[in-house]
Structure 1
């Protein structure tokens, strides 16, 4: 995640977690974006507005010097319909789980097969994310998971795009892929 190297001022929604204060026992944290943060997120995500963004998180130590953040993200946003440009309300409901380890940790190394290719399990857990310094920005993590849940093509219910010229019934004749070879001659 790119945001972990940023300072808190670079992201509109920030909740710094000091790694040294994280214990092995999970601590429950609730974070919620205020009006200024929601306006900043709306600009960042290029949506009309962010009505709410809230996360219920559990933060605890992972292995020796890593941190695990696990929880749920809930939110409401308003986007422009891709057909009519009218406002469309959307709900965000995502679960998140991310493990962070210090930069250079052995736990963050990629697993390679005998030929130098990465071994990834698409159904397995994500690889631990390295962090720099002594702080992890849980707010930026929440914002990233929320952003991934946004519908890239919101459409108002019952609205369809009509007027596409190819759908008007005209048959399109495409040239043969071999037509360009008819004038080609061997020397």
Structure 2
């Protein structure tokens, strides 16, 4: 694909159409950014730019890319809205559902090596949801408890005793409630 060509949003590619590889660039329009912001529970997604590289890998593909975004979130401490830049690189390998390279174990699950790379994603068919990977990896970069720079948590005051005996305790503490000493 030619350098600088911007692709529509959302975007998917079939493995057969990928050929020797593709370089893609996405800049979703305002309507798409609003929909993505709603999906990710953001106040707004002010900008999103993604450069994606698809390369053949085994009988599937490697999907890698760079995501740059500017998001507006609500601070979990002060409840103020604030903007934050996000920049992230990601890489995922995918295989078609009928691939002999998925090698499931006797339970039908992929064998996991805790020290190895992440296992490849198994596609439902032959289609790679490229924009889905962009949204997924943007979501992974977002702090689930965003904090505005400089926001400080202040503990609430100790709760006052609200039992029925609190009023009796207050009366017992002050033997002369009239205050005239008589």
In which range does the TM-score fall when normalised by the shorter chain?
0.7 to 0.9
2:9 matched to 1:19?
A: no
Aligned counterpart for 1:129 among listed residues 121, 125, 144? 121
Which residue number in structure 2 is paired with residue 29 of structure 1?
24
- Give the greater-gyration-radius structure (CA): 2
Residue number among 41, 51, 54 corresponding to 2:46 in the alignment: 51
SS of the residue aligned with 1:107? Answer: coil
Measured after TM superposition, the shift of residue 123 of structure 1 is 4.5
Runs of 4+ residues over 6 Å off in structure 1: none
Q: Which residue of 2 aligns with 1:140?
A: 132
Distance 1:117 1:70, change over 3 A: closer
Mark the CA change 1:118 to 1:58 in structure 2 (over 3 Å): closer, same or farther.
Answer: closer
| Residues 88 and 154 in structure 1, CA contact (< 8 A), matched pair in contact too | no
Match runs of 1:1-187 below 5 Å: 14-24=10-20, 26-63=21-58, 65-110=59-104, 119-165=111-157
Unpaired stretches in structure 2, ≥5 consecutive residues: 1-8, 160-182
Single out whichever of 34-43 and 131-140 deviates more from structure 2. 131-140
Higher relative contact order (CA closer than 8 Å, sequence separation 6+): 1
How far does residue 161 in structure 1 lie from its aligned partner after superposition? 1.4
Query: What CA distance in whole angstroms lies between the structure 2 residues aligned with 1:49 and 1:141?
Result: 19
Listed as ranges, the gaps of 5+ residues in structure 1 are 1-12, 169-187
Paired residues, number? 151
Cα deviation digits, residues 32-60 of structure 1 (max 9, x gap): 22111110111111110001111111112
- Could you tell me how far 1:118 is from its partner in structure 2? 6.9
CA RMSD of superposed structures (Å): 2.4
Scaled by the length of structure 1, the TM-score of the pair is: 0.71
Q: Aligned to 1:147, what secondary structure does the other structure show?
A: helix
